[in-house]
């Protein structure tokens, strides 16, 4: 029996798992840095900074944790990203056909990207119709991954016990959150973290391509 059969709920990270968003994110960060007179990031500089939320990304890009400076950077980022969030963002190969093959499963998106943009990307790229729930960061309501609180919220809302749910993501935060919530975890190696880093987290499953999810075991 394929391992996937034991799960009633599949929870997917967004950036680096379902979509490659690094270029639009880098362009928005660089717009903010230009407005603030800070150095630009190369596209290759961005992936290690992703997965911990926008504030962390902007702090690292700007080289400061000063609250006012980071808030200024966020406003510039939001102004740009609002207009360009899917200029270069694309689904990874095989994502849509695999989600269609999994239509009998309950599925959800859980991202550390702010709720507003998580929802808009899910809509723009045709992901929402395959999801029972699309949840982005809502700092006023629950902590970001790797804290498991957001996953507890999904499990409650979708009435699924943790041992019947699988967390799928490209970052250590995804794996740590899933494990802390009592879920099994699946690492994807094509995203924003090296496979060697992910393997150190001892995920239950590892896939090198999204469609390989159909044959984990």
Catalytic residue IDs:
13
For residue 31, give the H/E element and its range. Answer: helix 22-35
> What does each C-alpha distance from 193 to 134, 167, 208 come to in angstroms?
23, 16, 12
Secondary structure (3-state) at 87: coil
Write out the two tokens for 55.
């504030």
Q: What is the secondary structure of 115-178 as a DSSP string? A: HHHHHHHHHHTT-GGG-SEEEEE-TTTSPPTTSTHHHHHHHHHTT--GGGEEEEESSHHHHHHH
The strand pairing partners of 133, in sequence order, are 108
Tracing tokens 């997917």 back to the chain, one arrives at 12
Q: Whole-angstrom Cα distance, residue 110 to residue 23?
A: 21
Secondary structure (3-state) at 54: helix
> What does each C-alpha distance from 203 to 20, 154, 173 come to in angstroms?
22, 20, 12
């Amino acid at each position: 029996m394929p391992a996937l059969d034991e799960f009633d709920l599949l929870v997917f990270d967004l950036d680096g798992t379902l979509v490659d968003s690094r270029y639009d994110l880098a362009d928005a960060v660089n717009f903010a840095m230009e407005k603030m007179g800070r150095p630009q990031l190369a596209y290759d500089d961005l992936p290690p900074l992703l997965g911990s939320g926008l504030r962390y990304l902007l702090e690292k890009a700007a080289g400061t944790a000063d609250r006012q400076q980071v808030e200024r950077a966020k406003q510039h980022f939001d102004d740009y990203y609002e207009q360009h969030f899917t200029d270069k963002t694309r689904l990874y190969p095989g994502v849509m056909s695999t989600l269609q093959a999994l239509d009998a499963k309950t599925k959800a998106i859980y991202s550390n990207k702010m709720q507003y943009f998580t929802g808009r990307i899910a809509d723009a790229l045709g992901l929402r119709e395959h999801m029972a729930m699309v949840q982005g960061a809502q700092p006023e309501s629950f902590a970001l991954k790797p804290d498991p609180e957001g996953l507890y919220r999904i499990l409650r809302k979708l009435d699924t016990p943790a041992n019947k749910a699988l967390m799928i993501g490209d970052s250590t935060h995804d794996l740590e959150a899933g494990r802390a919530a009592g879920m099994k975890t699946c690492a994807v190696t094509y995203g924003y973290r090296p496979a060697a880093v992910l393997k150190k987290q001892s995920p239950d499953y590892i896939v090198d391509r999204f469609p390989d999810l159909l044959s984990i075991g």
